[in-house]
Structure 1
Amino acid sequence: MLNIGGLNQGIVIDHIQAGGAMKIYEYLNLEKLDCSVAIIKNAKSNKMGKKDIIKIEGDLDIDLNVLGVLDHNITINIIKNAEIVEKHQLSLPETVTNIIKCKNPRCITSIEQELPHKFKLTDRKNRIYRCIYCESKFKGN
C-alpha cells in the first residue's frame, strides 16, 4: 500500500470523488503555491470504494467552502503540530464567483471575457447553481 508521510502543519482535503483531485487542484490554483502538495488518486476508502486526497503543507488562507460546489462529500482537516485540530464538512455557498464557468456560448461571459462568472444556488437539495446572467444550470457531484 502507498504511504504518504503525515503533515506537521497544513490542510488535508479528503473524500474527494475518485478522479476529482486535479480539478480541485486547478480551482484552488495550488500550482501557484510555494509549498508541498501531495495528490493521492484512487486511494482505498471503506465509505466510497475509491477516493482522492490532497495534502497541502503549510499555513494557508483558502476559502474551502467553494469546494462544496464541486463535491459535497469533501471533508477538510486542518493539521497543526501533526494533529488534526479542526474537521470541516463543507456547506454549499449561496453564490460563487469564478469557481464554475458558464458553458452557454450565448452567455455574456462568453463575449465579455473580463466579466466574472457568477452562479447563484437555486436548488440546495439537488445542488443546482444557475448563472446570474443567462440562467444556465450547473450541477455538482
Structure 2
Amino acid sequence: MLNVESIQNGVVIDHITAGRGMEIYHLLHLENSRQSVALLRSVRSQKYGNKDLIKIEGTQIPERMDILGYLDNRITLIIIRDGKVEKKYHPVPPKLLKNVVKCKNPRCITSIEPECDHYFKMSPSGRYRCLYCNQEIPVRR
C-alpha cells in the first residue's frame, strides 16, 4: 500500500471521480505550482469504490478552485491548518466559467477568433450559457 504523508497546511481535494484527477490538476494549473502537490489516482474508497485525490501543501490556496463545483459534484474540499481540519465543504457551481469549457457552436465568435476567452454564465435554469452566442451546456455531474 502506498503511504502519502499528511499535510500540515494546505488543501485536500477529496472524492474526485476516479480518472478525473489529472484533468483537474491541469485545469487548476498545478503543474506550474511551486507548492508540493500529490495526485493520487484510483485510491480505494468505502463510499465510492475508487476515487482520485489531490493534496496541495502550503498556505496559498490555488486560484480557480471555484470551478470544482462545476467539474464534479462529489468533490470535497478540506482546508488544513496546523495539521488539523479547519474547514470541509462541497464547492458550489460558480456563476461564471472562464476558459473551463469551449463553446461547441461553430458560428460562435470563440470558434472564429482563437484568442477569444470562453465565458459561460449560469442561467436561472441551472445550465450554463455562452456569453457570446447563448449556446447552452449542462452542469457536469
Shared fold by TM > 0.5? yes
Which residue in the other structure is 1:76 paired with? 77
Q: 1:119 and 2:125 equivalent? A: no
Deviation at 1:33, TM superposition (A): 0.7
Superposition pairs for residues 62-141 of structure 1, below 5 Å? 62-122=63-123, 123-124=125-126, 128-139=127-138, 140-141=140-141
Aligned to 1:16: 16
| Amino acid in structure 2 at the alignment position of 1:52 | D
Per-residue CA distance 1:53-101 (angstroms, 9 max, x = gap): 0001112232422111111111110111111111121111122112222
- Identify the residue that residue 55 of structure 2 maps to in structure 1: 55
Q: Percent identity?
A: 45
Structure 2, unmatched stretches of 5+, are: none
Structure 2 letter corresponding to 1:84: V
Q: Spell out structure 1 runs of 4+ moving beyond 4 A.
A: none
Distance, in Å, in 2 between the alignment partners of 1:14 and 1:137 is: 29
1:44 aligns to 2:41 (yes or no): no
CA–CA distance in 1 between the matches of 2:26 and 2:59? 19
| Aligned length, in residue pairs | 138
Question: Partner amino acid for 1:116?
Answer: D
Q: TM-score w.r.t. structure 2 length?
A: 0.89
Deviation at 1:32, TM superposition (A): 1.0
Which amino acid is 2:40 matched to? I
Shift of 1:114: 2.5
Q: Please tell me the residue identity of whatever aligns with 2:137.
A: F
Give the aligned partner of residue 27 of structure 1.
27
Query: Which range is displaced more, 46-55 or 63-72?
Result: 63-72
CA-based RMSD of the aligned residues comes to: 1.5
Q: Take 2:39 and 2:137, find their aligned partners in 1: how far apart are those partners?
A: 26
The CA distance in 2 between the partners of 1:103 and 1:59, in whole Å, is 38
CA distance in 2, matches of 1:138, 1:3: 39
Structure 1: gaps of 5 or more residues = none
